[in-house]
Structure 1
Amino acid sequence: MGTTTVAFTLAHMAERCTCMRDLKLLHAHAFRTRLHDHTVVLGKLFRFAAVSPLGDLRYAHRMFDQMPHPTTFFYNTLIRAHAHSTTPSLSSLSFNLMRQNNVAPDQFSFNFLLKSRSRTTPLTHHNDVHGAVLKFGFCRHLHVQNGLIHFYANRGMTLLARRVFEDVLQLGLEVDVVSWSGLLVAHVKAGELEVARRVFDEMPQRDVVSWTAMLTGYSQAKRPREALELFGEMRRSGVWPDEVTMVSLVSACASLGDMETGMMVHRFVEENGFGWMVALCNALIDMYGKCGCLEEAWRVFHGMTRKSLITWNTMVTVCANYGNADEAFRLFEWMVCSGVVPDSVTLLALLVAYAHKGLVDEGIRLFESMDRDYGVEPRIEHYGAVIDMLGRAGRLQEAYDLLTNIPIPCNDAVWGALLGACRIHGDVEMGEKLIKKLLELKPDEGGYYILLRDIYVAAGQTVEANETRQAMLASRARKNPGCSWVEG
């Protein structure tokens, strides 16, 4: 068999490869037949190792390190691989190495690099990649310019995104739907929904990305009715939604507490083949939970053939929030037995369940074991849940001791929760101590004066209650909407 035939066969087999074991066997055969440096063979092998979901990026790096003079294709493949991996920052290192070795980048180099930089946080020296685009003369490549627009858009940097958009027009290039969608996303990310809607309305054509970006903007801004109205327009325009569209739509229904519309959306999901999507099913569970329909939430949960950590967490949280503590505990045991490792969200939901059940000591034991047993360091929300738990049980001094010894920055919401417990249990002395701290944190918050006054009124201390009212009026603190002074 001739060398050309062997090379063709190896390249063909590499294209059809389905696992790293077979890839390594092909790579070994390439060495034995002295075809390990053959451009086509090596390219096919390297591409599978680097970018295939069944590949191995570390193995690809070892292959790359053995190449005496890797070409632009190999650098691009490595940049692309990291752009879609958990290490997007390494794309920049590969690009810098490419430049150091005097290998010329092409438009694909910048497309992959911009993709990786969009996923890298925090954003530093964003002008360097833009400058490189100009230096290497790729400003007339629309795909590269679109990459720049989306790069700035994903950071909500509207001025820079718009500047690139306008530069494209000045260069005489014809902007496309990708360009417009990038500009739209920039304004959505920046929270400028009115401007985003004007951009949306000006678009000469819209694809599913642009419709979904606008719909998601409304949903995330807690403007669910506008999101639902926009979905109706989208369907009438003949654009087919994708998974992201449907997740945003379900979230809008959850925000409204509109179970009737939510169930209509659910039927649309099932009738149109979206039911296999894990993220969408997770959103449906959350929606049914927020609408108070636990039976439907369970139905979605049990119907899922594949469950992510978010699936389990969502269902545990739904059970905990509705006081179904025993179901939350059983679900947690099932989750652990299924080999799913709990995270901070899981443990927070369990703490809430313990609080609803009144199992304070058990909840404290879980809290104290979080780091040791699960490798989860307590955050402020976990401290808040324990303080709420102790406050509900009337163990106010324990809650206060924990609160004053929190090793991380604390917010007024946690202190306020304990003040609410003081009102329930009539602890005047503790309430006085808490109000001092709360007024240090938020001196213009009149609601805290109202809570303290209620504590005085409940304890029959009318003089102190009136003094608290006068103190609030003198400080010109604002009352929360719905709060009123009730004379004792």
Structure 2
Amino acid sequence: MGTVAVASTLVHMIERCSCMRDLKLLHAHAFRKCLHQHTVVLGKLFRFAAVSPFGDLPYAHRMFDHMPHPTTFFYNTLIRAHSYSTTPSLSSIFFNHMMQNDLAPDQFSFTFLLKSRSRTITPSTHHNDIHGAVLKFGFCRHLHVQNSLIHLYASWGVTLLARKVFEDVLHLGLKVDVVSWSGLLVAHVRAGELDAARRVFDEMPQRDVVSWTVMLSGYSQAKRPREALELFGEMRRAGVWPDEVTMVSVVSACASLGDVETGGMIHRFVEENGFGWMVALCNALIDMYGKCGCLEQAWRVFHGMRRWSLVTWNTMMTVCANHGNVDDAFRLFEWMVGSGVVPDSVTLLALLVAYAHKGLVDEGIRLFESMENDYGVKPRIEHYGAMVDMLGRSGRLQEAYDLLTNIPIPSNDIIWGALLGACRIHGDVEMGERVIKKLLELKPDEGGYYILLRDIYIAAGRTVKANEMRQAMLDSGARKNPGCSWVEA
């Protein structure tokens, strides 16, 4: 068989390859036939190793290191591979290396590089360098490159720059597409400008499932669940088929509203239309049923799943803990660890909540103190909040106060407010006075804290101090929360 025929056969076999073991065998055969530097054969081998889901990026690096003169194609392949990997910053390194070797980038170089930049660079860093390079090399007339620029700025929520690129495309006489519009939509959503995003959405001449989902997810995440559900209805009437991300946002909207009736209808839609196998969607359903107080349905979803992720375990444990079903939460934890799943910060938070509900304070303290050593998890503000709740419930206010005064991370008014609430429950005037001093440092204009301390004074029979607190609030100009009143029932 001639060299051309062997090369053609190798290319055909590489294209049908499905694992690295077979690829390495084909690579070895290419060496034996002196075809390891054949442009097409090497390109196919390299592309599989670098970007295939079944590839091996370190192996691709070793191949690259043995290339005497890699072309733009090989650099682009590595830039692309890293743009989707856990090391996206390496895309910029290979782009710069390519430029240093006097290889001119093409439109694919910039498309892949911009993708990696959206995952590594923040608006506070220099962002004009890549935009300037696009203009310098004359790729401003390539719509794919311009769309990548729009999505780069969109990923940061920098609406002015995203819109500028969008308008530049129009001024150049290029026809913007649904990807261009979606980038502009994402920019406003990321910036929290939901009304501006909706105006963009309404102006779009064409909408795909991504466009609908971006807008719907924006409403859901911004705690505007009714608008999310209304938009989902419009989406279905428009004949656009939802995807997993769409459905997760819809279920989350039901959870925010506590609307179990609509949530149940969405659950039936999920089951009837083949979405039931999707782990993330099932996790959202468990969370929704838990927030609606329907534990039986949450368990039914959990047990009906074909596989469970860490999020599944955490969600079910959190549902049990929040509803006081602490024995179930503990059993789930033992089951999870026994299945070889490593706990994370959310798992441990659920356990701390369970300990608080069970009144197992000493056990909760031991878990909190061993989090980093036993599980490699540093306590975050939520864990400190759970500890304050646990200690506060049991009346161990001094320990809670000591914990917060020695906290190694920034505290906030919410966690100190929880301690003040515990002071009210236990009628601890002295501790309440100490806590409110800290609260007024953190949030001096919050009137609700004055009212809580006043209630503590009234419960202790110290009406003079209660009236002083009322006057202190009026003098400071602090706001009362809706529903708070100085009038006693």
Q: Which runs of 5+ in 2 are unaligned?
A: none
**Mapping for residues 122-141 of structure 1, pairs under 5 Å:** 122-123=122-123, 124-141=125-142
Per-residue displacement from partner, 1:191-236 (whole Å, max 9, x unpaired)? Answer: 1111111111111111111111111111111111111111111111
Cα contact 2:72–2:105 (8 A) shared by 1 = yes
Per-residue displacement from partner, 1:80-137 (whole Å, max 9, x unpaired)? Answer: 1111111111111111111111112111111111111111143421111111111111
Residue 89 of structure 2 aligns with an amino acid whose one-letter code is: S
Per-residue displacement from partner, 1:332-365 (whole Å, max 9, x unpaired)? Answer: 1111111111111110111011001101011001
1:48 matched to 2:48: yes
Matched residue, 1:65? 65
Matched residue, 1:111? 111
**Mapping for residues 68-217 of structure 1, pairs under 5 Å:** 68-123=68-123, 124-217=125-218
Cα contact 2:122–2:156 (8 A) shared by 1 = no
**Mapping for residues 61-460 of structure 1, pairs under 5 Å:** 61-123=61-123, 124-460=125-461
Per-residue displacement from partner, 1:43-86 (whole Å, max 9, x unpaired)? Answer: 11111111111111111111111111111111111111111111
Deviation at 1:375, TM superposition (A): 0.3
Deviation at 1:487, TM superposition (A): 4.3
| Equivalenced residues, count | 488
Deviation at 1:327, TM superposition (A): 0.7
Q: In structure 1, what is the Cα distance between the partners aligned to 2:260 and 2:268?
A: 12
Residue 116 of structure 1 aligns with an amino acid whose one-letter code is: S
Per-residue displacement from partner, 1:435-477 (whole Å, max 9, x unpaired)? Answer: 1111111111111111111111111112221222222222221
**Mapping for residues 23-42 of structure 1, pairs under 5 Å:** 23-42=23-42
Cα contact 2:51–2:77 (8 A) shared by 1 = yes
Deviation at 1:300, TM superposition (A): 1.2
Residue 363 of structure 1 aligns with an amino acid whose one-letter code is: G
Cα contact 2:371–2:379 (8 A) shared by 1 = yes
Q: In structure 2, what is the Cα distance between the partners aligned to 1:487 and 1:219?
A: 38
Per-residue displacement from partner, 1:223-275 (whole Å, max 9, x unpaired)? Answer: 11111111111111111111111111111111111111111111111111111
Q: In structure 1, what is the Cα distance between the partners aligned to 2:480 and 2:96?
A: 57
Q: In structure 1, what is the Cα distance between the partners aligned to 2:76 and 2:84?
A: 13
Q: In structure 2, what is the Cα distance between the partners aligned to 1:178 and 1:268?
A: 28
Residue 399 of structure 1 aligns with an amino acid whose one-letter code is: A
Taking only the aligned residue pairs, the percentage that are identical comes to 86
Which secondary structure state, in structure 1, belongs to the residue aligned with residue 205 of structure 2? coil
Residue 76 of structure 1 aligns with an amino acid whose one-letter code is: N
Q: In structure 1, what is the Cα distance between the partners aligned to 2:165 and 2:477?
A: 48
Which secondary structure state, in structure 1, belongs to the residue aligned with residue 485 of structure 2? coil
Q: In structure 2, what is the Cα distance between the partners aligned to 1:168 and 1:442?
A: 46
Q: In structure 1, what is the Cα distance between the partners aligned to 2:97 and 2:462?
A: 75
Residue 480 of structure 1 aligns with an amino acid whose one-letter code is: N
Residue 94 of structure 1 aligns with an amino acid whose one-letter code is: F
Deviation at 1:293, TM superposition (A): 0.9
Provide the TM-score with structure 1 as the length reference.
Answer: 0.98
Q: In structure 2, what is the Cα distance between the partners aligned to 1:345 and 1:4?
A: 58
Residue 353 of structure 1 aligns with an amino acid whose one-letter code is: A
Q: In structure 1, what is the Cα distance between the partners aligned to 2:442 and 2:206?
A: 50
Provide the TM-score with structure 2 as the length reference.
Answer: 0.97
Per-residue displacement from partner, 1:401-450 (whole Å, max 9, x unpaired)? Answer: 11111111111111111111111111111111111111111111111111
Q: In structure 1, what is the Cα distance between the partners aligned to 2:299 and 2:48?
A: 40
Q: In structure 2, what is the Cα distance between the partners aligned to 1:129 and 1:482?
A: 52
Per-residue displacement from partner, 1:6-56 (whole Å, max 9, x unpaired)? Answer: 212222222222222222222122112211101111111111111111111
| Divergent runs of 4+, >6 A | none
Q: In structure 2, what is the Cα distance between the partners aligned to 1:194 and 1:385?
A: 36
Which secondary structure state, in structure 1, belongs to the residue aligned with residue 131 of structure 2? helix
Matched residue, 1:16? 16
Change (3 A) 1:487 1:244: closer
Residue 84 of structure 2 aligns with an amino acid whose one-letter code is: H
Q: In structure 2, what is the Cα distance between the partners aligned to 1:337 and 1:384?
A: 28
Which secondary structure state, in structure 2, belongs to the residue aligned with residue 119 of structure 1? helix
Per-residue displacement from partner, 1:118-158 (whole Å, max 9, x unpaired)? Answer: 11143421111111111111111111111111111111111
Which secondary structure state, in structure 2, belongs to the residue aligned with residue 154 of structure 1? helix
Deviation at 1:486, TM superposition (A): 3.7
Cα contact 2:455–2:466 (8 A) shared by 1 = yes
Residue 228 of structure 1 aligns with an amino acid whose one-letter code is: L
Q: In structure 2, what is the Cα distance between the partners aligned to 1:358 and 1:394?
A: 11
Change (3 A) 1:487 1:250: closer
CA RMSD of aligned residues (A): 1.3
Q: Which runs of 5+ in 1 are unaligned?
A: none
Cα contact 2:225–2:254 (8 A) shared by 1 = yes
Cα contact 2:282–2:301 (8 A) shared by 1 = yes
Deviation at 1:281, TM superposition (A): 1.2
- Mean Cα deviation higher: 345-354 or 197-206: 197-206
Residue 22 of structure 1 aligns with an amino acid whose one-letter code is: D
